[in-house]
Amino acid sequence: MADTKTPAASLTARFPRASLGHFPTPFETMDRVRTSIACAAPLWVKRDDCSGLAFGGNKVRQLEFYLGDAIVQHATTILITGAVQSNYVRTAAAAAAKLGLKCVVQLEDRVQGKDALYKESGNVLLDHLLGAEIVHYPHGEDEAGADAALEALANAARERGEVPYVVHLSEQPRPLGTLGYVVAVEELLAQAASEQVTIDTVILPSGSAATHAGVLVGLHALGRGDIRVIGACVRRAADQQSARVLRVARAVEGLLECGELVSSDDVHVDESALGPGYGGVDAGTRAALASAAQLEGLILDPVYSAKAFAVALSWCAGRESDAATVFMHTGGTPALFAYGADLVHHKE
């Protein structure tokens, strides 16, 4: 069992890591939002949208560990799969460009009924600009199939003499990206201590569960398992997502060889903002986007961060406490530009 006071940087020190982001990211108050919802408790935001690389976001932290591993393996080509407006895909393309690697991105058709703007703007535009090779996968809810298609592309790359490195979509035996949020927790706690802020709750989007599980394991490894982590469901119902978070947490613990730190009682998910499902926008998502923008000048995205912020608004409304809630802004800003029909042109 690892020492519960071991710094996260020490826990992850043996894993190769590429330097890609601007860290630490800002830690700011959200006083105008807090006042608007009659919240007497402190409300802060961890600005991982400011992580630097190609519009930033949480994937920068995750890719530092994947790309570090890829470099050690002398990879020449990075392959990754994700939704059409995937932030992960865009950030991987940027990381590959920064490190002088080729990048193949596979875009899955997860969100039905979208217009040409969705298929060509936002992250897709950036994928092209960053020089990624783009291929398409026609299904949206088939993680195993998407990964199998990616492996086929990797095999083809090997036959051409390239050295491929695959960042899978499905749960993996080595979820290296989660380590970025084990480290992020140490950063957050240091900032809170500097500001003399006591944290009792962290709210973040929960999709692949990499960020959610990394934060959970990081907090427990640092002796702060008392901090509640609430994951806002952005792709799956609560029962499915909670099971996934625990499985990924176990995989993180396995990577760190720290024993089981997180229990099922530590896994909290909230599906109240899931709405019409992954990439779907409803009135609650629009309201959360507007609140952050008009009260704090904070730009969210409709797929991940706005749904998590909707959960944060509900959690904090009328709350009275001396301890702070921290909203983890995981970025995703470029995707906003693909959702004009759902936002600016939408009529309630």
Residues annotated catalytic, as ranges: 86
302 closest CA partner among 269, 338, 248: 338
Which residue blocks in the chain are alpha helix, DSSP H? Answer: 8-11, 31-36, 59-72, 87-99, 116-120, 122-129, 143-159, 179-194, 210-221, 238-256, 283-296, 305-316
Going by their DSSP bridges, the two strands 27-29 and 43-47 should be labelled as antiparallel
Place of tokens 């393309």: 93
Q: Compute the distance between CA of residue 89 and CA of residue 106 in angstroms, rounded to an integer.
A: 8
Chain Cα centroid distance, residue 313: 19
Look up residue 175 and give its two tokens. 């979820």
Q: What is the dihedral of CA 96, 99, 102, 103, to 10 degrees?
A: -10
272 closest CA partner among 246, 295, 238, 248: 238
Chain Cα centroid distance, residue 29: 21
Q: Is the peptide bond before 24 cis (omega within 30 degrees of 0)?
A: yes
**Would you tell me the crossing angle of helices 179-194 and 238-256 to the nearest 10 degrees?**
90
Neighbours of 93 (CB within 10 A): 28
Look up residue 126 and give its two tokens. 């950036």
